[in-house]
């Protein structure tokens, strides 16, 4: 009798072909500008993007000024922009890029996908990046933007009682941190958190960091570069010592947080961090759905317009977000 195979599925062949054509790996020695240029290679062709009403703003909140945001309005049922409605949910989106890469342009397709998929206004935040602005500058910008959004939701045509946070990779980390800050500071009350392959503790001892040390897009060299830029001089050999505003898995209390959907990828060093965070939330009574994508890699949401498997995985998360925002 043949024993069942225990080998895990390989990376989706269409995705692998694309990644082989555009290698993105780098080291800290290459410098952050090289890394940023490589991320920009992955821009989606403009002709395949959904046509939405979009506005760029520079916002301020408290002592923080000059935070760029880009606001997206979803299409209404007739296909035109939802300009006159005043009851749309709002998603504050934080882009990925290891806290050092990414901007409103690199994640424009992802932000559009959230607006369409969740039928929500999306506020995409261009927070300050390392190494020019290491931790906690980005966290401060993201928190200011969430507070600003809550205060101005009605002016945007949104419902201040239906606000969610979402983010991919480093942005998933920031979205999770925002959920803690919102709970601990009396609001804004969040309806949901959508965390795409988040880093939650920088726990390099987890099995997925070893299994996927040479994975596409995010490997150990890339992770080391991001940590060098984001938290220079910080010893992360004990990840439990990191503050919860950097590593939300280190929080002392997870009760009362917004329900979550956590999307992970099998071929991603961060896979087990996402799974562990889902366990922490569920153990605290917070509904958290975990979906591990067996043939995908870190960053798959950015490939949703090009790779069918990535589109299917992205749509699962967006359906969860839509369900939470349109009960």
Task: Identify whether 5 is part of a domain.
Answer: no
pTM of the entire structure? 0.95
Residue 169 annotated in active site: yes
Task: Identify whether 7 is part of a domain.
Answer: no
Query: What is the strand order of the sheet 288-297 is part of?
Result: 53-61, 64-73, 121-125, 88-94, 158-168, 192-196, 260-267, 288-297
| Averaged pLDDT of the chain | 93
Which of 40-54, 199-213, 263-277 has the least mean pLDDT?
A: 40-54
Cα(166)–Cα(180) distance, rounded to whole angstroms? 13
pLDDT of residue 200: 97
The answer to whether the bond into 41 is cis (omega within 30° of 0) is: no
Condensed to tens digits (0 to 9), the pLDDT of residues 10-68 reads 999 999 999 998 888 899 999 999 999 989 887 777 778 888 999 999 999 999 999 99
Domain hosting 221: range is 13-325
Cβ distance 122 to 57 under 8 Å? no
pLDDT of residue 47: 74
Cβ distance 44 to 105 under 8 Å? no
pLDDT of residue 42: 77
Q: Spell out where the chain has E strands.
A: 53-61, 64-73, 88-94, 121-125, 158-168, 192-196, 260-267, 288-297
Task: State what percent of residues in the chain have pLDDT above 90.
Answer: 84
Give how far Cα 261 sits from Cα of 126, 217, 279, Å: 23, 22, 12
Cα(91)–Cα(47) distance, rounded to whole angstroms? 24
Number of domains in the chain: 1
Please identify which of the residues 169, 208, 244, 302 carries the catalytic annotation.
169
Residue 268 annotated in active site: yes
pLDDT of residue 86: 61
Average pLDDT of the segment spanning 152-156: 96
pLDDT of residue 237: 82
Cβ distance 85 to 73 under 8 Å? no
pLDDT of residue 11: 97
Please identify which of the residues 95, 208, 298, 302 carries the catalytic annotation.
298
Average pLDDT of the segment spanning 182-194: 97
Task: Report the CATH number at residue 161.
Answer: 3.40.50.1820
Where residue 2 falls among pLDDT bands split at 50, 70, 90? low
Condensed to tens digits (0 to 9), the pLDDT of residues 247-264 reads 999 999 999 999 999 999
Q: Decide: helix, strand or coil at residue 240.
A: helix
pLDDT of residue 6: 63
Please identify which of the residues 168, 268, 272, 276 carries the catalytic annotation.
268
pLDDT above 70 for 5: no
pLDDT of residue 43: 76
Which of 73-87, 117-131, 303-317 has the least mean pLDDT?
A: 73-87
Task: Identify whether 8 is part of a domain.
Answer: no
Average pLDDT of the segment spanning 80-103: 84
Task: Identify whether 306 is part of a domain.
Answer: yes
Residue 255 annotated in active site: no
pLDDT above 60 for 286: yes
Cβ density class 54-90: b for 16+ within 10 Å, e for less: beeeebebeebeebbbbbbbbbeeeeeebeeeeebbb
Task: Identify whether 6 is part of a domain.
Answer: no
Place of tokens 């024993």: 3
Task: Identify whether 317 is part of a domain.
Answer: yes
Where residue 100 falls among pLDDT bands split at 50, 70, 90? very high
Where residue 233 falls among pLDDT bands split at 50, 70, 90? confident
Cβ distance 297 to 15 under 8 Å? yes
Task: Identify whether 45 is part of a domain.
Answer: yes
pLDDT above 70 for 78: no
Where residue 241 falls among pLDDT bands split at 50, 70, 90? confident
């Amino acid at each position: 009798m043949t024993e069942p195979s225990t080998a895990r599925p390989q990376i989706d062949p269409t995705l692998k072909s694309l990644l082989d054509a555009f290698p993105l790996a780098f080291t800290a020695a290459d410098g952050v500008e090289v890394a940023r240029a490589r991320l920009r290679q992955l821009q989606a062709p403009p002709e395949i993007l959904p046509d939405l009403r979009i506005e760029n703003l520079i916002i301020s909140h408290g002592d923080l000024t000059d935070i760029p945001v880009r606001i997206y309005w979803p299409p209404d049922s007739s296909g035109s922009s939802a300009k006159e409605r005043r009851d749309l949910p709002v998603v504050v989106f934080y882009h990925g890029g290891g806290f050092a890469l990414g901007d409103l342009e690199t994640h424009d397709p992802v932000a559009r996908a959230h607006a369409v998929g969740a039928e929500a206004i999306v506020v995409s935040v261009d927070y300050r990046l390392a190494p020019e602005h290491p931790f906690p500058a980005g966290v401060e910008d993201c928190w200011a933007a969430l507070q600003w959004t809550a205060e101005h939701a009605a002016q945007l045509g949104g419902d201040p009682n239906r606000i969610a946070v979402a983010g991919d990779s480093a942005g998933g980390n920031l979205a999770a941190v925002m959920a803690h800050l919102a709970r601990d500071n009396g609001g804004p009350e969040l309806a949901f958190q959508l965390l795409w392959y988040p880093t939650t503790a920088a726990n390099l001892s987890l099995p997925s960091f070893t299994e996927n040390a040479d994975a596409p897009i995010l490997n150990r060299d890339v992770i080391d570069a991001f940590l060098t830029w984001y938290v220079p001089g910080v010893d992360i050999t004990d990840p439990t010592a990191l503050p919860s505003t950097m590593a939300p898995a280190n929080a002392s209390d997870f009760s009362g947080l917004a329900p979550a959907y956590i999307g992970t990828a099998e071929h991603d060093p961060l896979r087990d961090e996402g799974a562990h965070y889902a366990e922490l939330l569920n153990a605290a009574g917070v509904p958290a759905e975990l979906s591990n994508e067996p043939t995908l890699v870190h960053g798959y949401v950015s490939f949703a317009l090009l790779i069918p498997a990535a589109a299917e995985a992205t749509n699962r998360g967006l359906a969860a977000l839509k369900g939470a925002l349109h009960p």
